[in-house]
Structure 1
């Protein structure tokens, strides 16, 4: 009996901790003021525009996340933690900081932050994809929307 009570308590604590963490993530996202110039687009718009070559779609998540879900078709996987992140964007955009660059992460928090940071760094047309790959308050996300995915091929 005691083992069942302990197990139940453990799951209640884990569930409560997850709910609190989700609440903080949502609060954090809402507190990020959008100082980037390109606005926001849905995952469907991001896929459509990337497929047509109208935007550079950059998946800023980590290799572990790419391996878990795949990468959205048409997106370039560039880990935002790279020290040369801005230089990689310069290479992908042929040095044109006016290029339309859309950023996507898991749930829209990191992409909003990075959109602001890149705008401060002189990129003039940064677009946020707030749904992310996994969904957020902005929408279902790339995966649940059933948009095409490509397997992540780890660099060797």
Structure 2
């Protein structure tokens, strides 16, 4: 009995175009998720944020995850509050006080999450939220906390 001939599907132009379109859409989604939203709130460089936090003029909050804090350390003088915490506002009030007009600067890895949280806190009634868009690792806004040779502390739980 002869074996049935197995035919592999032909790679047609249509399949190639569909594959290319799917790849482009996936890349577009990936790229979009990594862009900070546009906002008109104040911004600080990492150096300015460090100086103001040291002077006690702002509360600097690192909103990254414990995994990130463990990997790279945390900005010296900052408060670590994971932005995913369900009690984020309560933790922020514990760090910065109950006044929603108190100056709070947010830093993340590359400025995307800090921009998003700046907008979210403004919607929640905070009127003096400041973004540190270069973040810990640097972004288009600047070299970042670590490359700027600013002090980094080891995170302890």
In the alignment, the residues of structure 2 paired with residue 45 and residue 35 of structure 1 have an alpha-carbon distance, to the nearest angstrom, of: 18
In the alignment, the residues of structure 2 paired with residue 90 and residue 147 of structure 1 have an alpha-carbon distance, to the nearest angstrom, of: 26
What residue number does 1:113 align with?
116
Q: CA RMSD in A?
A: 2.2
In the alignment, the residues of structure 2 paired with residue 144 and residue 114 of structure 1 have an alpha-carbon distance, to the nearest angstrom, of: 23
In the alignment, the residues of structure 2 paired with residue 59 and residue 25 of structure 1 have an alpha-carbon distance, to the nearest angstrom, of: 23
Residues 107 and 130, structure 1, Cα contact 8 Å, conserved in 2:
yes
Q: Which structure 2 residue ranges, 5 or more long, are not aligned?
A: 1-26
Work out the number of aligned pairs and report it.
133
**Residue in structure 2 matching 1:83, options 71, 83, 86:** 86
Q: Which structure 1 residue ranges, 5 or more long, are not aligned?
A: 1-19
**Residue in structure 1 matching 2:95, options 79, 92, 95:** 92
The change in CA–CA distance for 1:27 and 1:69 in structure 2 (over 3 A counts) is closer
Residues 79 and 95, structure 2, Cα contact 8 Å, conserved in 1:
no
Bigger fraction of residues in helix: 1
Structure 1 runs (4+) greater than 3 angstroms displaced: none
